[in-house]
Amino acid sequence: MGAFADPGRITRAGLRLHPARRDGRKLLPDLDAAIRACGLRDGATISFHHHLRNGDAVLNQVMDAVARAGLRDITVAASALFAVHAPLIEHIRSGVVTGLAASTIYGPLAVAVSHGILARPVLMYTHGGRARSVESGDLSIDVAFVAAPVADSYGNLNGTHGRAACGPLGYAVTDAHGAERVVAVTDTIVPYPAVPIEIGQDWVDFVVPVASIGDPSLIVSGTTRATADPVALGIAETAARVIAASGLLTDGFSFQTGAGGASLAAAAYLGTIMAERGVVGSFAAGGITAGIVRMFDAGLFRALMDVQAFDIDAVDSFRRSAAHQSMSASMYANPHNRGCVVNRIDASILGAAEIDRTFNVNVTTGTDGIILGGSGGHADTAAGASLTLITTQLVARSHAKVVDDVTTVTTPGETVDVLVTDGGVAVNPRHPELADRLRAAGIPLVGIDDLAAEARRRAGGPARPRAADGRIVAVVEYRDGTVIDMVPAA
Amino acid sequence: MGAFADPGRITRAGLRLHPARRDGRKLLPDLDAAIRACGLRDGATISFHHHLRNGDAVLNQVMDAVARAGLRDITVAASALFAVHAPLIEHIRSGVVTGLAASTIYGPLAVAVSHGILARPVLMYTHGGRARSVESGDLSIDVAFVAAPVADSYGNLNGTHGRAACGPLGYAVTDAHGAERVVAVTDTIVPYPAVPIEIGQDWVDFVVPVASIGDPSLIVSGTTRATADPVALGIAETAARVIAASGLLTDGFSFQTGAGGASLAAAAYLGTIMAERGVVGSFAAGGITAGIVRMFDAGLFRALMDVQAFDIDAVDSFRRSAAHQSMSASMYANPHNRGCVVNRIDASILGAAEIDRTFNVNVTTGTDGIILGGSGGHADTAAGASLTLITTQLVARSHAKVVDDVTTVTTPGETVDVLVTDGGVAVNPRHPELADRLRAAGIPLVGIDDLAAEARRRAGGPARPRAADGRIVAVVEYRDGTVIDMVPAA
């Protein structure tokens, strides 16, 4: 039906829950007690969010407790999984975990999944698609575990304070509103009430204290540092010029970029142009980074719409700025609510592992077929933004990145508008008026077929043909719940 | 099953909704267009909230548009109805409105209802029961109209700013999360995004600008002014002494009082005792008033939990204080979520039109059988608080207020602990240990039967017998959805 199909009237699933007794207590001594109190059983689905990113210590502690409880056949539905979650491999080998779902998977677990460690394919959704899935009932969560930087004993939570403060709890909000049982795991219990409350006591069944929910210094992952590479900086500057020439860069401009190095550099260039022109934007959305906070603090945006802080500067900004607004995963990117924030983005700059001649983008697998990430908000933002730019070098580590066919389709080409590379800028033929604007602004354009040919030439050989068969190890679900691609075993 | 029954596992209703198209616009020219866009039909249920109290101009404007559209047989499910909503009488007479539900009804409409203007009984729920009803699907709302002091064109709303700023939108939150269609009605459109967002764009279908949503100076109704009557002041001081003697007035103390004059005076006395003892409370909840804000600003409470500002001082406090926390109607008082805020209240001071010898309280009807209010949060707070005090004079306008049987049961006696009157203090026999504490503190106690006898004596005659039959004009629903009483035509 395409990326912009109208689903018509829909019905969200009913919610099973266990009302609190008036005198009921929620504070439990440990995770083992929480697992018993939730009545967790073999075959259940449990969920996690990734606000602590590669610093998260909650998932591993919970899974160890699940294993101690002798449970089997558990599905782990995470918003994202990082290198720190490699211990899941052992839980998969032992049969504790037999199902996995995540919008991105990084590190050793991604490699193990790619090689077929699981009998059932992994479900890879988008951030917005995951929210849709929880709300529709497609993803039925028995117990959501929420890593809470601060909690009180009756289940009010926030990420504003605490030793592992992570800022907005946008992904956790959606889980807490959709799970039958919600367990808050915290290392900082404060006196009731834990204001400012991000997730209220009316959504939390139990509170469990642990020694540490994680290492806040590792919220910043490698993907959130700006680039210093001159080629990448050239691409970033061109991307900013494309936006400046698009006609969108006027007062009220709204912007999102991923956490990739080139995207962050492009944001910096864009900020310079905005300051020169005196443009005041309405909001930047995301995943918020230090670079975006600097633009906000400089008055280049009136507000930040934040589902997740990507670094400590963003956490600090969230704590001190009333116009640094949290949003749930659903509000951020779910196509099946009354209007998500990505719909309001003027320009978005996103990265690519590969992009093909119909502008389909792969951020799910490498050319070797190994999972190296996943959509996260990539497909959501591309679909929502008026102007979606993909920035990439033509070649990386002797692999062409502009190709005839992407190894895996993460984001459909119909939602991508411009490709900016070190070999030139290509505009999706769906947008001839945009091409005219860019040419008029002195930005030379090339055809994407030419970029693919140049990439093939520089890479020194034809692209490796995509694996045509083999057991499926991952199903890539588009934000609307349809299957957009599948990943065969590497 | 009693006020404290455990409902076990429950299932909330699924939600019908119409996802936004990516390019969909929400701003409509007027209410007539909104009614068409929502596909409102004969027999539908529409909802309103009462944050603007007797200053609300939205309900009447919407109902006029509903009448203009030629619709019939509409049920109006409001959180509360005030004297300003008297024009509903005409819509009832004309057949536009045939159903009514509200937690409180004041003014000419209450009189008309009491005399049987509607063929179907009015449903009178509690604030928490209404939230339960929306979430369970018992109350299925076709279109929720939200009076929004500030909105942007994509449906982000807040009550923090705007010319009719009313503070928290707690009742509207619950409606927006439960209705098939949500229409925001505003007189202040601001540039996107309308931060700080209280109700997000993901919950709002349409935005309609009107000249005025109401008169903010009328948020303060007659019920929210402190008393100056010396008899009432004596009762208030005694109420504060009872709390001080109860053993609950230690650090972390939590408190709620209604907006009645004696309750507000009691809060002031209580504040003096807290300051003398150096007690720092955890929170005050409600309906927040200027008096409670003063206690908060003086450091007597660490936080305010606020479903609705009762006056302009409370609106100002909400705007400037991060620890002045908004809460939805469900979080406030719904017995069927994972733990509502009333469960955490130590002491609550509430008023009464009548109280009987088993401590049942009536705040729904006068002795003449005419509806004069309704529960609001009365029954919720009484059930949740550890210590519930009822304050009342023995006699008002020659009617006994302590009676053999209340005209209407609003709040069951099992949830009421102490009665404080100008004739003495009575403790519910369910709590002999509390009686001991009060006696030990030098507070003389009397039996409630003696208070009833004294009230009858002062009133100068026997209470008028309760009307035993007659057509039922209102069904009084307890917070758990059971019928606790019915009101016959007056």
Question: What pLDDT digit, counting tens, does each position of A434-449 carry?
Answer: 999 999 999 999 999 9
* Separation between Cα atoms, residue A360 and residue A363, nearest integer Å: 10
Helix (H) or strand (E) holding A400: strand A399-400
Report pLDDT for A263.
Answer: 78
DSSP string, A253-265: -EEEE-SSHHHHH
Residues on chain A touching B157 (C-beta within 8 angstroms)? none
Q: How confident is the model at residue A221 (pLDDT cuts 50, 70, 90)?
A: low
Closest CA of chain B from A409, distance in Å: 21
Question: Is pLDDT of B464 > 70?
Answer: no
Residues on chain B touching A205 (C-beta within 8 angstroms)? 338
pTM of the model: 0.96
Task: List, in sequence order, the alpha helices (H) in B76-202.
Answer: 88-93, 108-114, 127-136, 170-178
* Separation between Cα atoms, residue A149 and residue B483, nearest integer Å: 42
In this complex, the residue of B10, B192, B203 whose CB is nearest that of residue A17 is B10
Residues on chain B touching A204 (C-beta within 8 angstroms)? 338-339
Report pLDDT for A462.
Answer: 64
In this complex, the residue of A195, A203, A334 whose CB is nearest that of residue B338 is A203
Question: Is pLDDT of A223 > 60?
Answer: no
B193: amino acid identity, one letter: P
Residue of B nearest to A18 (CA): B9
DSSP type of residue B127: H
In this complex, the residue of B193, B322, B325 whose CB is nearest that of residue A193 is B325
Percent of chain B with pLDDT over 70: 97
Question: Is pLDDT of B468 > 90?
Answer: no
Report pLDDT for B463.
Answer: 61
DSSP type of residue B4: T
Taking only the tens place, the pLDDT of each residue in A309-338 is: 999 999 999 999 999 999 999 999 999 999
Q: How many C-beta neighbours within 10 Å does residue A432 have?
A: 10
* Separation between Cα atoms, residue A207 and residue A29, nearest integer Å: 9
* Separation between Cα atoms, residue B118 and residue A128, nearest integer Å: 46
Taking only the tens place, the pLDDT of each residue in A62-77 is: 999 999 999 999 999 9
Residues on chain A touching B333 (C-beta within 8 angstroms)? none
In this complex, the residue of B21, B23, B202 whose CB is nearest that of residue A330 is B202
In this complex, the residue of B24, B191, B344 whose CB is nearest that of residue A339 is B24
Taking an 8 Å cut-off on Cβ atoms, the answer to whether A18 and B322 are in contact is: no
Taking only the tens place, the pLDDT of each residue in A225-253 is: 667 889 999 999 999 999 999 999 999 99
Cα A19 to Cα A98, A192, B343: the distances in Å are 31, 20, 12
Nearest partner of B20 among B202, B208, B209, judged by Cα: B202
Residues on chain A touching B12 (C-beta within 8 angstroms)? 14-17
Q: How confident is the model at residue B342 (pLDDT cuts 50, 70, 90)?
A: very high
Query: At a CB cut-off of 8 Å and minimum separation 6, what does B173 contact?
Result: B198, B199, B328, B329, B330
* Separation between Cα atoms, residue B385 and residue B387, nearest integer Å: 5
Residue of B nearest to A200 (CA): B331
Residues on chain A touching B155 (C-beta within 8 angstroms)? 338-339
In this complex, the residue of B14, B155, B195 whose CB is nearest that of residue A325 is B195
Task: List, in sequence order, the alpha helices (H) in B278-377.
Answer: 290-297, 312-320, 329-333
Q: Edge to edge, what strands does the sheet with A354-356 contain?
A: A361-362, A354-356, A402-403
Q: Which of A151-165, A249-263, B43-57, B137-151 has the lowest mean pLDDT?
A: A249-263
Taking an 8 Å cut-off on Cβ atoms, the answer to whether A11 and B12 are in contact is: no
* Separation between Cα atoms, residue A310 and residue A305, nearest integer Å: 13
Size of interface A-B (CB pairs under 8 A): 183
Residues on chain B touching A18 (C-beta within 8 angstroms)? 8-10, 338
In this complex, the residue of A205, A282, A338 whose CB is nearest that of residue B202 is A338
- Reduced to 3 states (helix: H, G, I; strand: E, B; else coil), residue B181 is strand
Report pLDDT for B216.
Answer: 81
Taking only the tens place, the pLDDT of each residue in A450-481 is: 999 999 999 987 666 666 567 999 999 999 99
Mean pLDDT of A179-206: 98
Question: Is pLDDT of B223 > 60?
Answer: no
Closest CA of chain B from A155, distance in Å: 9
Nearest partner of B53 among B15, B19, B1, B104, judged by Cα: B104
Closest CA of chain B from A173, distance in Å: 13
Taking an 8 Å cut-off on Cβ atoms, the answer to whether A19 and B336 are in contact is: yes
Helix (H) or strand (E) holding A83: none
Helix (H) or strand (E) holding A194: none
Residue of B nearest to A337 (CA): B19
Instruction: Choose from A279, A338, A417 for mutation: most chain B CBs within 10 A.
Output: A338
* Separation between Cα atoms, residue A31 and residue A162, nearest integer Å: 20
Closest CA of chain A from B278, distance in Å: 17
With contact defined as beta carbons under 8 Å apart, do A133 and A125 qualify? yes
β pairing state of B10-12 and A15-17: antiparallel
Taking only the tens place, the pLDDT of each residue in A341-357 is: 999 999 999 999 999 99
Query: At a CB cut-off of 8 Å and minimum separation 6, what does B222 contact?
Result: none
Q: How confident is the model at residue B21 (pLDDT cuts 50, 70, 90)?
A: confident
Regarding predicted confidence, which is higher, A258 or B157?
B157
Question: Is pLDDT of A54 > 70?
Answer: yes
Taking an 8 Å cut-off on Cβ atoms, the answer to whether A26 and B339 are in contact is: yes
Mean pLDDT of chain B: 95
* Separation between Cα atoms, residue A303 and residue A293, nearest integer Å: 10
Regarding predicted confidence, which is higher, B162 or A22?
B162
Taking an 8 Å cut-off on Cβ atoms, the answer to whether A17 and B24 are in contact is: no
Report pLDDT for B460.
Answer: 87
Percent of chain B with pLDDT over 90: 89
Report pLDDT for B262.
Answer: 79
Helix B230-245 and helix B432-440: axis angle, to 10°?
A: 110
In this complex, the residue of B12, B22, B202 whose CB is nearest that of residue A17 is B12
Instruction: Choose from A133, A192, A202 for mutation: most chain B CBs within 10 A.
Output: A202
Report pLDDT for A217.
Answer: 85
Q: Which of A225-239, A326-340, A368-382, B310-324 has the lowest mean pLDDT?
A: A225-239
Taking only the tens place, the pLDDT of each residue in A383-437 is: 999 999 999 999 998 899 999 999 999 999 999 999 999 999 999 999 999 999 9
Mean pLDDT of A278-290: 95
Closest CA of chain A from B476, distance in Å: 22
Mean pLDDT of chain A: 95
With contact defined as beta carbons under 8 Å apart, do A202 and B343 qualify? no
Residue of A nearest to B322 (CA): A196
